[in-house]
Amino acid sequence: MTDLLEQAVDWLDAQRVAHLSRTVTYSRGEQSVELSATLGNTRYEVADEAGATVQAKATDFIVSADELVLAGVQVTPQVGDRVRVPAGGKVQVFEVLDLAGAGHYRSADPQGRMLRIHAKQVDEE
């Protein structure tokens, strides 16, 4: 019998995809995949060259881990990967980044079925 919490996570992920997501294109080099992603943000602090602490904000993409498949292989995010988001006739381009040593992604649920990927906008097409 499947654990009740695992069933709840599956249900929540299905609800997220159905009602709180948009289609984005995740790419690494020439490989890409379309994903259902929920946008969020994370605030973090970094020290500048003078040692002052600066607050910054990253755009987060919450995706189902099993949808992140490149060249037929399920992968985890890597720094430098790109996410393209259609927005008002243009496409915003985000790049996966490391949050001041805190990592570039993390699990968004206890079972690791959803990933929260940290990125910053680097271009608009």
Residue ranges per structural domain of the chain: 4-124
pLDDT in tens, 107-117: 888 778 889 99
Pair 109, 100: CB distance under 8 Å: no
Burial of 34 per CB tally in 10 Å (0-12, 13-18, 19+): exposed
Provide the percentage of residues in the chain whose pLDDT is more than 90: 52
Q: pLDDT tens track of the chain, all 125 residues?
A: 468 877 877 787 777 778 888 999 999 999 999 999 999 888 777 777 777 777 777 899 999 999 999 999 999 999 999 999 998 899 999 999 987 777 899 888 877 888 999 999 999 98
Q: How far apart are CA 17 and CA 123, in angstroms?
A: 26
Q: Which two tokens stand for residue 124?
A: 């608009």
Q: How far apart are CA 48 and CA 82, in angstroms?
A: 25
Strand partners, 38: 62
